[in-house]
Amino acid sequence: STPSYDPSVFAGISNAEAGKFKALDADKSKPLSNRALRETYAPGSTFKILTAAAALEHGVVSDIDAPSGAPAPYQLPLSTTKIGNDVAGAPCDKASLKTGMQWSCNNVFLDTALKVGKDKMRETAEKFGFNSDVYDKEFGDLLATKSLYPKSLDKPQTALTGMGQGSLTSTPMQMAMVAAALANDGKLMTPHLVDELRGPDLSTMQKFEPKLMSQAVSAGTAKKVQQMMEYTVDKGTAEKAAIDGVTVGGKTGTAQHGANVNDERPYAWFVSYAKQSDGSSPVAVAVFVDPKDMDIPRSEIAGGKLGGPIAKQVMQAVLGK
């Protein structure tokens, strides 16, 4: 989480040190805020991987290459509002789920979420950890703010959740969990920070054992989403995360926010995973960038451009280890 701070500057009890803490607390860049666990944001198009999983799991989509029939631009139900797509010239009109993922076609996922329906969308989101505290009771070392998939949604609001907008909110940790579970054939593991507890002589007193949190979706569903995410890295908007000789799946996200949606500079997201040559998935990543104070034009704010290279560096570091 950045910007960060040096805790030693207020480790004592003097008035000077108290003043330094107050200065940090008043800093508008929020260095004391744990953005990964404690802040929630609209996840934008990274949520499309969960929308796809929900559609496959509930039988709304069976063939990821079949045309969706969703027109572009897409008119929200019960509304005159039409929503377009961000990638100029992308073949989004009536595109398949796979092509929709490849080019992040909003129309495909708006329509998909509407067909799945709010209850089944929420059910799938909750299996990935939404609407519940993410907390390891044994070690008590990680507590994340709830990510929310709302209960009371009308049809246009339901459609908007399909592209990660509307009243949907998520921590970066939650989207990392979604990416990890899909890479892990649908198995969502309990997240934690502590690996083991050691005594004064450095002997191991207690070691964390991996625990299944839920089977979020079937292995068959997860493998189809993996196929689409990997195709999106190979031939789509997530290409900046590609690593030679390694299987990488990814999804970009650019999330609008503000009182009138476009009032503020959008957030840039990127979620991905990398698989070793033997098929194992040692790393899943969620990158969130708030470009509010960045000196770059709005046109350069996109999940693939800002988040993709960061995700690639993190995955390479873990793979190198």
Which residues carry out catalysis? 45
62 vs 113: CA distance, rounded Å = 15
Token pair of 177, please?
């969990």
| CA 309 and chain centroid, separation | 16
DSSP strand E in 127-203: where? 134-135, 143-144, 187-189, 196-198
- The neighbour count for residue 95, using CB atoms within 10 Å, is 22
Yes or no: say if 254 and 44 are a contact pair by the CB < 8 Å rule: yes
Q: The tokens 């960060």 sit on which residue?
A: 4
Q: The tokens 């959740």 sit on which residue?
A: 161
Yes or no: say if 231 and 238 are a contact pair by the CB < 8 Å rule: no
Q: Where are the alpha helices (DSSP H) in the chain?
A: 15-26, 35-38, 48-57, 97-102, 106-116, 118-127, 155-161, 172-183, 219-235, 308-320
